[in-house]
Amino acid sequence: MLLILEIADRVVMKRDLQIAREIQTWLLPGAPPQIPGISIAYITRPANTVAGDYYDVFPRPGKTNEESRIVFAVADVAGKSIPAAMLMATFQASLKTLSTAQVPLEELVANMNKYACSNSQGGLRFTTAFLAEYDAARRVFTYINAGHNNPILRRSNGSIERLDVGGLPLGIQPEAKYESSSVALAPGDWLIIFTDGVVEAENTYQAEFGEARLLSVIAANATTTPAEMLHRLLAELDLFVGNTAQHDDVTCLLVKAENI
């Protein structure tokens, strides 16, 4: 009888986790939006049934059409499974809600940080995040890196820049200040935003995939589309990892500047 009850509990738990995964999938964007001057591809691979990684691309209307922007977000909640997934949903809700206020990006991120601090268990459940606004008319990204892996900006000539301006991860200090920076994209430039599950993926020898391999894949496929680049990156990652179990969520968002 005890065995039957235990099996029943496991069945219910598995069903609940599957429902949680479906809900989490609804929180993520579907097909990449069509944005003038750039093409986009993105994906996330949860290490467990549900994940603590988040990505999104959505419009943020301004007072005029000229002030309207496109928000790009990639975030990674500390921890795994259900607790991280719940905070991921909280992050998504706060971002969508607070983005409706017509305030500068620095104020938006500061407000998100204050909200995150109220749910972070004294900083234990912090969130690293890269948040940016894209001005399609000027082809400029204004961004804040809140303790996240530095996104890679690969110029068409092969030079590499790191987007590292910002501040602390969200949820650590309520009064933390955040600084923004801007980069302009030219045709052929690539922006690679990722979580640590990409570069810290390990093989059977406990060696990490690393940024050097990531940069090599980017360089070898710079003339392709973001969708093709993403497919080849995941293939290289799978080949490197082999049969080693995935220990962290893997999320990547690729942006390529095109000729208008």
- DSSP string covering 174-194, please? TT-----EEEE--TT-EEEEE
Distances (CA, A) of 25 to 53, 94, 186, 198, 241: 11, 17, 33, 20, 25
**Report field, pTM of the whole predicted structure over 0.85:** yes
Mean pLDDT computed over 81-86:
72
- Compute CA 100 distance to the chain's CA centroid, rounded to the nearest angstrom: 20
Please say if the pLDDT value at position 181 is more than 60. Answer: yes
Task: Select from 85, 80, 32, 92 the least CA-distant residue to 252.
Answer: 32
Reported as a single tens digit per residue, the pLDDT across 184-223 is 999 999 999 999 999 999 999 999 999 999 999 999 999 9
Distance in angstroms (rounded) separating the CA atoms of residues 70 and 86 = 25
For the chain, the domain total comes to: 1
Task: Select from 52, 49, 48 the least CA-distant residue to 28.
Answer: 52
Q: Can you tell me whether residue 63 is helix, strand or coil?
A: coil
The pLDDT value given to residue 98: 93
The pLDDT value given to residue 81: 65
Reported as a single tens digit per residue, the pLDDT across 11-33 is 555 565 555 555 556 567 888 99
Distance in angstroms (rounded) separating the CA atoms of residues 35 and 89 = 26
Q: Where in the sequence is the domain holding 79, given as residue range(s)?
A: 2-257
Kindly report the average pLDDT of the chain as a whole number. Answer: 87
The pLDDT value given to residue 78: 82
Choose the most confident range, by mean pLDDT, from 24-28, 136-140, 142-146.
142-146
CATH number of domain containing 228: 3.60.40.10
Distance in angstroms (rounded) separating the CA atoms of residues 181 and 161 = 13
Contact 157, 228 (CB under 8 A): no
Per-state percent for the chain, helix, strand, coil, to nearest 5: 35, 25, 40
The pLDDT value given to residue 4: 66
Distance in angstroms (rounded) separating the CA atoms of residues 88 and 77 = 6
